[in-house]
Amino acid sequence: MKKILTVITLVCVFTLFSFAGIEWSVKTTSEGQKKGESKTFTAHVYAQAGNLKQVFEDVSNADDFHIKNGYWLFKSSEENIYIVNEKEKSYMEMSLDSLMQLTGFIGQLVKIEIRDHTITSEKLGSETIAGYKCKRLKLTTDYTMKMKIAFIKKTIKVHEVKEIWAVPNLKGFNELNKTFLNKDFKTGFPDLDELIKEQMEKQGKIGFPLKTITHNVQRSKKGKVKSDTTTTMEVTGIKFTNFPKSFFEIPEGYQKMETKGNKKLGIF
């Protein structure tokens, strides 16, 4: 489940931030009460003409999505995502649709139902972040998630509060690539897809997020806390520039890695 939600988060990043001639740094920190819930990564992101390159600079706990010595590359003309491993001089190519279905066989074994969900949004005025006047919004989501993993059933009650500080009219934002605007991303779980859709509708066209703080609490059916995490994302060092076309190309000589069935090769 954590892997599925990680994919969704990353795709949302590409959806929001793919526009022309800009670069920025981003630091994301997750703090949790249990082992494995805390991690930090920093990245430098470059975007132009619908292409986007996210280079990971520091990763506390590397995984399939946060790669040490690597980066993510989206090429708008191809509608593909490339996950590039600079250390191994290799890369993996996948379509946006296949990215959302990355868990593959897991999706066939896991069934998810979302029940009794409520989503509210509250405007909290404006605040200056990194010299930019931002709109501030609080999004509160409550729901019950029923999961069936093979013969195991789980019920989780989720309470999530997300605060967003966003610039409504940042230069270049209106050049958001139409490839994303016209695409309907799917996780493969209808109830979860509907929940995400409603969250995005409540969030509205708030603009370019410079800071987000997300507090997520998950409880068992009996009310016991199973997970309590706070994730903070901050954008710094925004610059406007122009990049040569070659900047968004796979380096010559890098080997393309393939996947066979459920076995992941190369950087996976």
* Token pair in block for residue 76: 């708008």
Domain layout of the chain by residue ranges: 2-257
pLDDT digits (tens, 9 = 90+) for 227-238: 999 999 999 888
Instruction: State what percent of residues in the chain have pLDDT above 90.
Output: 30
pLDDT for residue 18 is more than 50: no
Mean pLDDT confidence for 92-106: 59
- pLDDT one-digit tens code per residue, 141-156: 999 999 887 778 889 9
More confident residue, 241 or 67: 241
Query: What's the pLDDT score for residue 242?
Result: 86
- Checking if the pLDDT of 187 tops 60, the result is yes
Mean predicted lDDT score pLDDT of the chain: 78
In this prediction, residue 251 carries a pLDDT of: 92
For the cut 80, the answer to whether the pLDDT of residue 25 exceeds it is yes
As a whole number, mean pLDDT of residues 58-81 equals 73
pLDDT per residue over 36-50, tens digit each?
677 888 889 888 877
pLDDT value of residue 184: 55
Mean local confidence (pLDDT), 92-105? 59
